[in-house]
Amino acid sequence: MNELNQAQLLELVNTKQIAQGNPRVRALTQRIVTDLFKTIDEMDVTPDEFWKAVDWLTRLGQTGQFGLITAGLGFDRLIDIRLDEADEKAGRAAGTPRAIEGPLFVAGAPTTQVETRLDEGEPKGEIFVMEGQVLDTDGQPVANAMMDVWHANEVGGYSHFFPGMKPYELRRRIETDAQGNYRFRSFLPPGYGIPPNSPTAELFEALGRHGKRPAHIHFLVVAPGLRTLTTQVNIPGDTYIDDDFAFATRDGLIIELENDVAPAGYESLGITAPFTRSRFNFVMQKALNEDETSPAARMARVTANA
């Protein structure tokens, strides 16, 4: 009576219920379990292979690296592509393209008005200033937009995740002025590489893939009535610019660099010699509802809605 074949077991797993539960979670779990049963059977997965995968998932969770795997296997970009498709269908594809948030955002960075230094007064490499306006899709300046900016240090590490860095190092929040202006001083970050000897590195080695991202800077821009913009810009000339392990490079997000810009007007950023500048405007769509203006990054959104 308790003997089961595969199909009977799957049916049981997918239909057991003593309460309504969450129908969406039930439906998604059923689908995923069905697909995995099928994968195990068709690919003839051995017990050792199966338990090795379970051990890997356990270590992945313990090291907090699930977000690296979702990026590297294309899920983060998939979600952006699906949002772009929906925007296209709804006739609202406009403004600065979105790009993946990535797993390394940290909320609560120090806030300043209009301009700031991300490098905390410790120059590291070439002086770089990025500046411009936040605009809406009608071209109007967005006053009091809040822009989170974050990037890697000179060896590709992000504060909060990379040992030895100060809290919020290379993370700042800038509030635009009445003309929508922002500017910040930093240095041009190098690319990023997944941590060596990590569960993430194990998978990418087994897949015969590299775990490199081209040099980039992240942004999360929030303003009343406008749709929250999560994006990244790429620094031109990187070897990996068209071979990002997270598939996040996009047209329209590769900044242009101006070299040897005269320092006049940049004294408040401590600049007294020629430097590298990039001008870039962020163009935000009108929000259709309050949810689209949510200032929360991806994990804060889901934990708030739990």
Note whether 235 binds ligand MBD by CB under 6 A. no
Contact flag: residue 72 with Fe ion (CB under 5 A):
no
Residue 156 makes contact with Fe ion by CB under 5 A: no
Does position 213 interact with ligand MBD (CB under 6 A)? The reply is yes
Nearer to ligand MBD, 10 or 71 (CB): 71
Least separation in angstroms between residue 71's CB and ligand MBD is 4
Instruction: Tell me the sheet residues that pair with 181.
Output: 133
CA dihedral sign of residues 184, 187, 193, 195: negative
CB of 204 to ligand MBD, least distance (A): 12
CB closer to Fe ion out of 119 and 136: 119
Q: Tokens standing for 167?
A: 């809290």
Give the integer Cα–Cα distance in Å for 121 and 187.
11
Instruction: Please identify which residue in 10, 60, 69, 104 interacts with ligand MBD, judged by CB under 6 A.
Output: 104
Indicate the pairing of strand 192-193 with strand 146-150. unpaired
Closest CB 249 distance from ligand MBD, rounded Å: 11
Q: Looking at beta carbons only, is 118 or 271 nearer to ligand MBD?
A: 118
Q: In this structure, what token pair is assigned to residue 173?
A: 């929040």
**Chain residues 88-107 in contact with Fe ion, contact rule CB under 5 A:** 102
Q: Which of 68, 149, 229, 233 binds ligand MBD (CB under 6 A)?
A: 68
Q: Which is nearer to ligand MBD, 226 or 246 (CB)?
A: 246
Contact predicate 160/167, CB 8 Å: yes
Q: Which residue has the tokens 């200033």?
A: 129
CA 306 to chain centre: 21
How far apart CA 197 and CA 179 sit, in angstroms, is: 48
Q: Which is nearer to ligand MBD, 195 or 295 (CB)?
A: 195
Is residue 226 involved in binding ligand MBD (CB under 6 A)? no
Residue facing ligand MBD at closest CB distance: 102
Identified binder of ligand MBD from the candidate list 118, 134, 246, 269, rule CB under 6 A: 246
Burial label for 241, CB within 10 Å (0-12, 13-18, 19+), is middle
Regarding 266 and contact with ligand MBD (CB under 6 A), the answer is no
Task: Report the largest interatomic distance among the alpha carbons of the chain, rounded to a whole angstrom.
Answer: 85
Q: Round to whole Å and give the CA distance between 77 and 215.
A: 17
**Which residues fall within 8 angstroms of residue 271, CB to CB, at 6 or more apart?**
127, 129, 185, 263
Contact residues toward Fe ion (CB under 5 A) are 102
